[in-house]
Structures are given as structure tokens and as C-alpha cells.
Amino acid sequence: MSSDSDLTARARIRDAAIALFTERGIAGATIRDIAQAAGVSSGLLRHHFGSKEGLRDACDEFALARITQLQMAFTESQALGGALAPDAMALQQYLVRSLMDGSPRGQAMFAAAVQGGERWLAGTKLETDDPRAFVAVLGAMKLGMFLMRDQLTAALGEDVGELPGYVRMIRASLEIFSQPLLTPEQAEQGMKALDRLRDSSTGEKGPWRMPSMPED
């Protein structure tokens, strides 16, 4: 994601595609709009990427490689989180959006992240009966932070893709993950409610509400 206009046309197309795919979804962004945003003809887009699917795949590959590269450059410490600098926020957001729209590369990435997460989990003292579910759900939650960029931006009053807002967001996630949000009583109460729900299987599945923020 370079800002200059003296880039290869191919790179400009790719950047514009990532931006529009992120903003409108894969189906919502058109070849013509992407080409126009990149300042080229739609034919050139086709010349370089073959098809819309080819363009999307190239974007996936680029985003994945670039994020990996940014990660490689900085391996300060290891624990939990997986967020990158604001520069990579847009790439992350695109990748997760593409994942939601059925990207094969994205699915493979998520699966690999879950596998790696299980290894990470094994090295910690965290308690869980279901390591796979633990890391998968945790991963899904973290990705939610990127998918909800627009909503977080609205709630915080500043773009979480820019430095100040980004710092607030990551700081909040650190606070969230560094303390138990549920008391042991609340957790146990929730577990019991889950057991009740599970044991009523094949029976009537009445709605059930997890101990929770009152309104969502």
C-alpha cells in the first residue's frame, strides 16, 4: 500500500482494488471503478490480472505476503494479540474482508493461525477444556476488531486506522486481555447455563442469554 502515484500501473491497480474491495466487498466493487480509481482503463486491469477473480487472488497474495513481511521485521516479544502498525491495518482489514467473502487463501491463513495458536496456547498457563475452540474463538474476536473499523472509528471519534485512534484501540485490547472480565461466579454461572442448554438437546431449544452486556 504505497501512496505515490509514480508506481507501476499494476501496483496502482492492486492498491485501488484492495481499497475498494475493503470498502464495498468483493461483489460490491466493480472492475470499472477499480480501474478508474487507479487511473487506467479496465482493459489494462484485465491484461494484468486476467479476471476479477485473478485480481482478487493477487490482492490476497500481496496482502498476505506484505503482512508476513512486516511481521518478520519486528519480532519483539511473543504473547497474544497479533496486531500490526496502522500501516498494516488496511491490509489486515482487506484480508479479513476477503476471508469473509470466501477467499481460499484467507481460509488457509485462518486454519494455519489456529494451528499455530494451539502451539502458543500449549506454552502458556491458560486454562481451557477445548484448546482448539479457545484459540479459534480468540482469533475470530481479534479479527472482529479489524472488520469493525468503521464502527470503532465512529465510536471513538477518530480513525482507528490512523495512529492516535489505533493506539487507543490496541491499548483497549491490551486492557481487555490483561484482566478477567468475568468473576469466577459469573463464569461458573455461564458454564452451568451452557450445560443446561446442551442437555436440553433435541428438546425445545429455548433462547438463552449469556451473562452479558445488557443490550447486545
Least distance CB 47 / a copy of itself (angstroms):
25
Phi-psi region of 186 (alpha: psi -120 to 50; beta: other; left: phi over 0): alpha
Closer by beta carbon to a copy of itself, 2 or else 128: 128
User: How far, in Å, CA of 171 to CA of 183, rounded?
Assistant: 22
For cell 491463513, the residue is 109
Q: Does 214 bind a copy of itself (CB under 8 A)?
A: yes
Q: DSSP secondary structure string, 155-194?
A: HHTS-TTSHHHHHHHHHHHHHHHTS-SS-HHHHHHHHHHH
Closer by beta carbon to a copy of itself, 44 or else 70: 70
Instruction: Choose, by CB under 8 A, the member of 2, 8, 24, 53 that binds a copy of itself.
Output: 24
Closer by beta carbon to a copy of itself, 65 or else 155: 155
| Options 8-16, 42-50, 54-62, 171-179: segment touching a copy of itself (CB under 8 A) | 171-179
Q: Does 122 bind a copy of itself (CB under 8 A)?
A: no
Q: Does 210 bind a copy of itself (CB under 8 A)?
A: yes
**CA distance to 107, 122, 134, per residue, from 101 (Å):** 10, 31, 24
46 binds, among DNA, a copy of itself, none (CB under 5 to 8 A by kind): DNA
